[in-house]
Amino acid sequence: MSYKKQIVIMIGDVVGEPGLLALEALLPPLIEEHKATFVVVNGENVAEGFGITAVTLNRILGAGADVVTSGNHIWEKREFYPTLDAESRILRPANYPAGNAGHGSVMIEKAGLNWLVVNLQGRELMTPIDCPFKTFDAIKQTAQTPLILVDFHAEVAKEKEALARYLDGRASLVVGTHTHVQTADERILSKGTGCITDLGMTGVMESVIGMDKQICLDRARTQILFRMECAQGIGAVQGIVAGIDPETGKTLAIQRLSQKA
């Protein structure tokens, strides 16, 4: 059976209640506008900026996400660990050591197609966990679909670009998250993998990476680690929309999204 081009939306880190409200307001019309088949949202900062809860997870899924990815802050709420184990649509980075709660990849059937979503975390300037390159290789060995979407939650652009190059032709999309600053380097690599160094964030732009700007200024000036709080105000949604060839898994088009509620 031949399928037409599939549209994928991937959304950057949702920061706090303002980010969640923006997602709830803007994601459904974005899905309708682009006729999106599959949606991935990074939700690791949705619960007051740090971690995720069962309630906030359900709100992200209710807004239209098919899979929710995360990163280093997924471990902030210990009471959420049972949900990490029980709910297949919430991922934590796959390259954390074995035995931790949750899982790092999931296969979802939708629109007659199998979609594999893989969540990985970088190691440069972050906790030196297991190798994301080898972890992807192990997951790829059993993949039964060309439609593979990768959220690489990492600090350093060089590491994100390196992974995208490593996965070129083996994944449909490789998108960076974590820095909350949307980059302007969305592109399609030579073997057909679409990538961007960072999706950006879904939260208040009049802030410092979604957090209260005065607290961030005080922390930077005094070097005292005052407790971070989410910025308040009207949020925006950032990410990418991409067209994927369902037969080959290659990206045919990719563009940035940045829209204020």
CATH value at residue 27: 3.60.21.10
Beta-carbon-side half-sphere exposure of residue 256 (alpha carbons within 13 Å)? 17
Q: For residue 261, what pLDDT is reported?
A: 82
What are the catalytic residues?
73
Residue 156 within any structural domain of the chain: yes
Q: For residue 73, what pLDDT is reported?
A: 95
* Nearest alpha carbon to residue 43 among 186, 174, 203: 203
Note the pLDDT tens digit of each residue in 80-127.
999 999 999 999 999 999 999 999 999 999 989 999 999 999 999 999
Residue 1 within any structural domain of the chain: no
Question: What is the C-alpha to C-alpha distance for residues 254 and 67, in angstroms, rounded to an integer?
Answer: 19
Any idea what DSSP says for residue 18? H
Neighbour count for residue 224 (Cβ, 10 Å): 8
Residue 234 within any structural domain of the chain: yes
Residue 67 within any structural domain of the chain: yes
Residue 222 within any structural domain of the chain: yes
Note whether 163 and 130 are within 8 A (CB). Answer: no
Query: What is the pTM for the complete model shown?
Result: 0.95
Q: For residue 2, what pLDDT is reported?
A: 52
Provide the domain count of the chain: 1
Q: For residue 3, what pLDDT is reported?
A: 63
Q: For residue 1, what pLDDT is reported?
A: 43
Q: For residue 25, what pLDDT is reported?
A: 97
CA torsion sign for 207, 210, 215, 217 is negative
Its domain, for residue 41, covers 6-260
| Residue spans of the chain under pLDDT 50 | 1
